[in-house]
A = this chain, B = another copy of it.
């Protein structure tokens, strides 16, 4: 177990899933404010941009043929079809980030989470599910956006329940009844995961130094 080349830490793939309106985007931003080295995986999508959304920041907006071309070329880590639109996580920026030792945060649904959790990168995945305090609160937050029709909200609530029902396929689960407390727990989870033996290849160098010291004293 001791020997071999010096190894660079590989970043974690941090998956944050929740029904829409459970505080996921706010918490993702807070996590990056806390540690700016964390990269966001910007999803590609075929849906139209909403008012205020920026291409390349919120989403990478692509045509359906381009999206399908990316999938068939193996350029997507995961992809899903939701409400008639495609969503996917482009592979290249993720691999570049984790190979450089940076963690990558994914704001994706359970279908995407499942694909990443069964991919070749599964050994580097940390998945967290956020539950809302109540359905009433979830609905209130969806309605307060003021962008959607009743039918859209009803459909989103159904999708939310579908999402919630997959909570137990995640490593960690947090009930987001207090944003600050949930933020603290998220940081605790990320901090702990970085202390895993598998996440600290630099420890090998420390053990080698101990070995040299030990052998020098015999």
Contacts and interface: CB of A to CB of B under 8 A. Distances in A.
Nearest to A190: B192
Interface in A131-188: 131-132, 134-136, 139, 157, 161, 164-168, 170-175, 185, 188
B173 A195 contact: yes
B197 A188 contact: no
A72 interface: no
A169 to B, nearest CB: 8
B168 A217 contact: no
Interface of A is mostly: helix
Given A129-B197, A157-B214, A213-B135, A203 B175 contact: yes
Contacts of A217: 135, 139, 157
Interface stretch (A58-66, A80-88, A204-212): A204-212
A150 to B, nearest CB: 13
A123 to B, nearest CB: 13
Contacts of A173: 195-197, 200, 203
A168 B185 CA distance: 26
A57 interface: no
A189 interface: yes
A131 to B, nearest CB: 6
A197 B172 contact: yes
Given A129-B197, A170-B197, A193-B192, A210 B157 contact: no
**When A and B form their complex, which 10 residue pairs have the shortest distance between CB atoms, in order from nearest?**
A192-B192, A135-B213, A173-B197, A189-B192, A135-B214, A161-B214, A172-B195, A188-B192, A188-B191, A1-B168
